[in-house]
Chains A and B, each alone.
Chain A
Amino acid sequence: MSVVEDGALRGATGAKRPSRLFRNPMAKIASIPMILTAMVVFVGGTLWTVVHSFTGSKLLPKLNWVGFDQYERLWDTPRWLISISNLALYGICSLILTLTIGFILAALLDRKIRFESAFRTIFLYPFALSFVVTGLAWQWILNPDFGLQSLVQGWGWESFQFDPLNNPDIVMFGLLIAGIWQGSGLIMCIMLAGLRGIDEDIWKAARVDGIGTVKTYVRIVIPMMRPVFITSLVLIASGIIKLYDLVVAQTNGGPGISSEVPAKYVINYMFQAQNLGQGFAASTMMLCSVIIILIPWAYLEFGGRKNA
């Protein structure tokens, strides 16, 4: 890592000031369309949305300013508050559990077990399904009359109760099960690749020093796998923020509004309620929450290195 950085540094200082902008002109010209797309579509679209969130736009975007009215209404709306707390609950649980389960599965597969590729395929298979299919499948599995509950009751455990999708208090865990089932396979694969990247000599050295397997994982291997964890973290976090299709397919926000999520609020208010201003205000708040998480992380990840 440091070698690459030194090389880049030397190149930058050696090339002097004017050439920095004009170095590799062809590559820069070639990337102009992409830069324009990014600027116009992403940055432009974001700015347009933020600006219109301060208007009273209904079905059509209009520039009739209403100040912070949309935001005041948003934060007075119980459905939005429930959406936020649901997302926080789902996010924290999903982050911890997906990482833990993904790593444990990867570590187990890494112990050179028999039929490793068969297990790997089985664990990764759910990821090949879209969230809509996942949601529907788990809606059926968790259906109290046909699914898991009736199966276990049929085995003789008559008092068995597991009906999360119809219980407002635990419905988010019903979604969480489906989300983890779908997502942990991919994380497992990434972790497995990371584990395979650990030099065999490190294991040998640890064994010579008489360090136990679990301790080697926790103290040596996991710290070495930091980039892999960062990648997994970004993948999981982006999946959490855009959580929408799973909810639509599995519970559609129900029972009542107890499994609503922010993205669904945005879509519903923009299109079903024909209130663009309210939808834009909600999506701007989603953007803010992403930025609040992203900036400290980016600072630690990229800003910290310069000082070190």
Chain B
Amino acid sequence: MKLSTKLLAATAIVSASAASAVELEVTHWWTSGGEAAAVSKFAEAWNATGNTWVDGAIAGSGGTARPIIISRILGGDPMGATQLNHGRQAEELIEAGLMLDLTDVAEAGGWADIVNPSSLLDSCTLDGRIYCVPVNIHSAQWLWLSHDAYEKAGQPVPSDWNEFVASAPALEAAGMVPLAMGQQGWQQNLAFGAITIAVAGTDAWREVTVNKNADVARGPEYTAVFEAVANARELARDSNVQDWNQATNMVITGMAGAQLMGDWAQGEFSVAEQVEGQDYSCLPGLGLNEILDTGGDAFYFPANDDPEITAAQKELAALLISPEVQVSFNLAKGSLPVRGDIDMAAANGCMQKGLGILADGGILPSGDQSLSADTQTQIEDLMAEFWSGDMSAADAQARYADLIAAAD
């Protein structure tokens, strides 16, 4: 039964592609060097099927690109496919019937069995139907350490967050900034999230972020979190940079001891030709709690009247998750693949650590998947205020709990 469905779908796809070559415009915001290289892997694979990939890169971050993408879909000028972070960003577009239902492609490809962790597929699912293809996994809970800085300070490289905090005075004495931190709300929120999972543990985190339990957010676990974050704030006091890659550069050049940043920071280290374990170290889960969240990127396919384009969209959806494309794309991007059944031997040390954690099931849904964009923005505003000023940990905790209580 299942095999026959697969075969049927495969024939359908083959006949569709044989019928005609279709141009699909794909919008995304992958414009940095490594990201552009990764997108070209998709484009090559798609062009190899005889269709044409029309690249619609939008410069700027997701915050810039998302409004453009959404207004094009709302304005009746849908693109063939578009990148979005999976999570709740497209929820209303799906409810309004503007996104193509991919359930048949997913069933034919057996996505339910191959996508690991399955939460990625869950966040593409609304009322039992699947609307997006997850393409990669990015996790945020990483501590990047500069060996150079620790050598200068005459200290061993820490193996977890607590050791890092203990070593901070030595770094300061040697004239370095202990913690590099870009002065932007999302980075400060990312650091807060990473410290939360390390300090409060996954149960408390899940209760607050997924179940939106404000009582836990007011409780002792989170008091410890906010004290740790207030402490980290002092360690990052002299870090005046804005963008995350400038902060990463402080770690690369040994001006700062460490940075809390997602796994995409690795791209910067490899561009600077640094070697993992020799020039820098990475500690997933800050070395305390080896758990990663599983945010990432997904492709959505806006609904279209033209059956030819719809067929091509489904073909592209199946292609994006196919094993070869997953390997080539994720190696170029430095992210983890969404399927556990492929060979990633070419990945470097940090990626292998991530793959290991993924295989052991040490995973959490990302904040994007649990909290609405509205709540996320409010928390980012709070974090921006907290990190740049002198707000007390108790005040910040109270305000955070209020935001969680009001979250939708």
A58 to B375, CA, bound (A): 12
Quick check: is A239 within 8 A (CB to CB) of the other chain? Answer: no
Q: B49-57, B326-334, B378-386: which lies at the A interface?
A: B378-386
With both chains docked as a complex, state the minimum distance between the C-beta of A10 and any C-beta of chain B, in angstroms.
53
Quick check: is A258 within 8 A (CB to CB) of the other chain? Answer: yes
**Chain A positions within 8 Å of B304 at CB level:** none
Contact check: which of A59, A144, A254, A271 meets B388 at CB < 8 Å? Answer: A254
Known: A254-B384, A275-B374. 15 other contacts (CB 8 A): A58-B374, A59-B91, A166-B240, A168-B389, A252-B242, A253-B384, A255-B388, A257-B388, A258-B388, A271-B70, A273-B373, A273-B376, A273-B378, A274-B372, A274-B374
Quick check: is A278 within 8 A (CB to CB) of the other chain? Answer: yes
B377 to A273, Cβ gap below 8 A?
yes
Tell me which residues from 16 to 31 in chain A have a Cβ below 8 Å from any Cβ of chain B: none
Tell me which residues from 92 to 117 in chain B have a Cβ below 8 Å from any Cβ of chain A: 92-93, 96
B385 to A79, Cβ gap below 8 A?
yes
Question: In this complex, what residue of B is CB-closest to A73?
Answer: B406
A254 to B377, Cβ gap below 8 A?
no
A137 to B86, CA, bound (A): 37
Quick check: is A86 within 8 A (CB to CB) of the other chain? Answer: no
**Chain B positions within 8 Å of A278 at CB level:** 374
Quick check: is A256 within 8 A (CB to CB) of the other chain? Answer: yes
With both chains docked as a complex, state the minimum distance between the C-beta of A14 and any C-beta of chain B, in angstroms.
52
A254 to B240, Cβ gap below 8 A?
no
Chain A residues with a Cβ closer than 8 Å to the other chain, count: 25
Chain B residues with a Cβ closer than 8 Å to the other chain, count: 30
A256 to B327, CA, bound (A): 39
Tell me which residues from 250 to 307 in chain A have a Cβ below 8 Å from any Cβ of chain B: 252-258, 268-269, 271-275, 278
Quick check: is A44 within 8 A (CB to CB) of the other chain? Answer: no
With both chains docked as a complex, state the minimum distance between the C-beta of B112 and any C-beta of chain A, in angstroms.
28
Quick check: is A60 within 8 A (CB to CB) of the other chain? Answer: yes
A256 to B183, Cβ gap below 8 A?
yes
What would be 20 A-B contacts, judged by CB atoms less than 8 Å apart? A59-B91, A59-B93, A78-B385, A252-B184, A252-B242, A254-B184, A254-B242, A256-B385, A256-B386, A256-B388, A257-B185, A257-B384, A257-B385, A257-B388, A271-B67, A272-B373, A272-B377, A273-B373, A273-B377, A274-B89
Among A77, A253, A254, chain B packs the most CB atoms within 10 A around the CB of: A254
**Chain A positions within 8 Å of B92 at CB level:** 58-60, 274
Interface residues of B (CB under 8 A from A): 63, 66-67, 70, 74, 89, 91-93, 96, 183-185, 240, 242, 372-374, 376-378, 381, 384-389, 399, 406
Among A60, A271, A274, chain B packs the most CB atoms within 10 A around the CB of: A274
Question: In this complex, what residue of A is CB-closest to B70?
Answer: A59
Known interface pairs A59-B92, A168-B388, A255-B388. Does A144 touch B240 (Cβ–Cβ under 8 Å)?
yes
**Chain A positions within 8 Å of B385 at CB level:** 78-79, 256-257
B381 to A257, Cβ gap below 8 A?
yes
With both chains docked as a complex, state the minimum distance between the C-beta of B157 and any C-beta of chain A, in angstroms.
27
Question: In this complex, what residue of A is CB-closest to B377?
Answer: A273
Report the 9 A-B pairs with minimum CB-CB distance, sorted nearest first.
A256-B388, A273-B377, A271-B67, A59-B92, A255-B388, A275-B374, A274-B373, A273-B374, A256-B384
A258 to B389, CA, bound (A): 9
Question: In this complex, what residue of B is CB-closest to A144?
Answer: B240
B63 to A272, Cβ gap below 8 A?
yes
With both chains docked as a complex, state the minimum distance between the C-beta of A229 and any C-beta of chain B, in angstroms.
39
Tell me which residues from 35 to 79 in chain A have a Cβ below 8 Å from any Cβ of chain B: 58-60, 73, 77-79
A273 to B92, CA, bound (A): 13
**Chain A positions within 8 Å of B63 at CB level:** 271-272
**Chain A positions within 8 Å of B387 at CB level:** 256
Among B63, B66, B96, B384, chain A packs the most CB atoms within 10 A around the CB of: B384
Known interface pairs A166-B240, A257-B385. Does A269 touch B67 (Cβ–Cβ under 8 Å)?
no
A252 to B381, CA, bound (A): 12
A256 to B385, CA, bound (A): 5
**Chain A positions within 8 Å of B240 at CB level:** 144, 166
Question: In this complex, what residue of B is CB-closest to A60?
Answer: B92
A22 to B227, CA, bound (A): 75
